Structure 1
Amino acid sequence: MQQGGWMGGTGLGMRREPEVTVEVHVRPGDAQRALRSEVLAGLCGEGGLRELSPKWLYDERGSQLFDEITRLPEYYPTRREREILLAHAGDIARASGADTLIELGSGSSEKTRLLLDALRSTGRLERFVPFDVSEAFLRQAARAVAGEYPGLRVHAVVGDFERHLERLPKGGRRLVAFLGGTIGNLKPAERARFYGQLASGMEPGEGLLLGTDLLKCRKRLFAAYNDSAGVTAAFNRNVLHVLNRELGADFAPEAFEHLAPFDEENGWVEMRLISQRAQTVKLPALERYVNFAEGEVLRTEVSCKFRPEQVEAELAAAGLYLAERWTDAAGDFALSLALKR
C-alpha cells in the first residue's frame, strides 16, 4: 500500500513515509520472470549440470528454516561473526570513519544494531541504508530501526545486489556491510563482478565490511551443511516446494536426497538435491518437462570457503585495499575492512 505521494528520483520511484524513505527498483513480477528464465536455462537446458540460484531457497518457509539452521550446534558461521562484532564493532567504526552504514541483506538482525551502536558512539552516524530485495521485509525492518534510533535518517533501497548496486545513495562517508558469508554464494567470476561494480560507485576512503567463512577441517564443514537434525535437508528441498507453487510443477521433494559435500577443486561446499529414481517432472507454467535420471544432481547453492590471502587479493583486484581484518578466537570466520583507494 502506498503511503504519501510519489517523489521524483531514479528507478521506479521514492516514497516518503513518516519514519523512512523507501526507494524501489524491483518491479512487481520481476521475481516471477527471473525464476522462469532461470528454470528454463538451469533445468530445461540440454546437457550439463542442472542448477538454480540459492536466492530461490529463501521464500518465507525457507527463511524460517535458515533461521533454525543458524542456531544448530553444527552451524558455526552466525555465532562466530557475532563474536567478532561484539569484540570489534568499535574498532570497525573508528577504522572506517563512516557516517553512513549501508547493509546489503537483512536490516533487522542484531548485527545491524551492533554496528549502528558502534558508529553512533563515534558521534558521526547520520544515515542508515538497508538494501534488500523484499519490499515488505525491508519496510518493516527500516521502520524498526528508525524507531530505535531517533534522529537517524533511514533510506531503504529495494533492489537486487546483482543488478542495482549503482542505485545505492551517495553522500557522506559510507561503509557497506556485506555480512553472513553471503559473498561465498558467488562463484569467482561473479565475485569479481560484484567487487568491481561496488568499487566503481565508491569514493576514495569509503569502505566495505565483508564477512567470509574461512577454509577449515572438512569434517566440520560437512557437519555444518549436513546437520543431524535434517534442518538443512528440509531447507534445501524447500526450493522444490517453491517451484511447485510458483510454476505449477509436480516435484516430489521426498524423491530427492540432500547432500552437501566439499568440492576440493573449487573450494566450496556444494548443496545438492540428488534424484533417487528416474522421474519426469512437469512444469506447466513453462509448458516444459524435465527428465531426471537416477542419481542425477540439481545444484542449489555453492558456499565458498576462503583463505585470508585470497580475500585480500580479490579485493585488491577491484581497487580495494585491506585496512583491517578481524577473526573469532577459533579462527573460523573473518571480517575484513577494505577501503577504496
Structure 2
Amino acid sequence: MYPDVVDTINGMKPVLSWEDFKKTSTNGISNDKRVLAEFWWRFKCLPEHREEADEVLELKFKNIVPKMLSEQKQAVMKNLYRDGNVPPEDVDKQGNRWPTKEALISAKPRDFTTDEGWRLLCEHWSTPEFRKSSRNGSINRQSKGEEMFHRGGSRSLPATRQFLALKTGVDPGLGGAWLHNHELNRGINDGRLCNQSATDKWAQYEEGMEKKHGPNWKVEHPDLDGAVIYESVGRMPHGKLAIADGAISITEKEAIKTRKRSAQPYATAREKRLERDNEQLRNENSALQEVQRVLRALVAKGGMDYDALAQGTTTNLKQSKIKFGNAA
C-alpha cells in the first residue's frame, strides 16, 4: 500500500515524493527500503553492477512517484465525471472548475494509502498553487483516459490522430499518429522516418504486430499495443518503452511486466549452469555416437564382429551394463 503521511515539525503532510518514502516507515522499516527489497527479491544483477543499478533505481523511483500520484488523480477525476456526472465543484478567479476537496475524498481508491493519507493528498490537490500548476501543465499535455501524452513542441498523439482522421476520413489509431509524427518529410509520405533508430524500432514493432494480430493489423488493431512494444522493441531496460512510452500508462506497463514475469519464472544461476552442462553432455554424446557408427562400419567392412572386438580389447568394459548403439 502507498505510504500514508509524513510527520514533520509543522504537522502531518502527504507523501508526494520518493524522498517522502524515506521519511515514512511500516512495521519499523522505512518504506523506500521495503520497495527496494521487493525489487531485488524479483530481480538480480551481478555484484559488480549493483552500485550502478542502485543509482538508476534512485532516479527511476524519483520519477515514478509523481507519475503514480498523477495517474491516481486522473483515475479519480475520470470516476467523478463518469457518464456525464458532475460532482460538487469550486470555481477559481479565472473561471476554471475543479472538483471540491470533499468530492475528491469521497472517491478514494480502495487499496491506495490510508484514509488520513488520502485526505491530505486531496487537500494538497485542492490548493490554489497546485491547481495553477495543473492548469499550466494542461497547456502542454493532452489527456485521454488513463494515458498522458506530452506534446514536446508538436501535436500530441490524440491531436495527430484526430487531425489525420479528419483529413483522410480514416482513423489511423495511435500507431498511425506516432508514425506520422516521426516522418522525415511530412506530407510526402515516402515512408522514411526521422532517424535510423526510429526506423529500426518501428520495423520491429511491425513484425511483432503481424506475428500477433496477422497481416491486416493496421486496420484491425491501429492502436499501439504496449505488450508488443515490450516484447519486440527491447522491453524496458531503463524503465521506459523503446517507442511511444508516454502513450502507454504506467498501470498498463506494470501489468505487462508482471504478466511476463509470471509466464517466464526466474531461473537461478545454478539452474542455468546445469542446463549448460546438460547441453554440453548431449553434444558430446551425439559426437561419440557418430564416431561409433563410423567404427562399426569400418569393422564390418573388414569382416569382423564389433561387439566381440570391443569386449576383447577393453578389459573393464562390461557388456551387460553398457549398450552400444546400432550401426547406421
The two structures share one fold, judged by TM-score above 0.5: no
The structure carrying a bigger helix percent of its residues is 2
Q: Which has the larger radius of gyration?
A: 2
Bigger share in strand: 1
Give the TM-score band, short-chain normalised. Answer: under 0.3
Q: Which has the higher contact order (CA 8 A, sep 6+)?
A: 1
What's the TM-score, normalizing by structure 2? 0.23
Scaled by the length of structure 1, the TM-score of the pair is 0.23
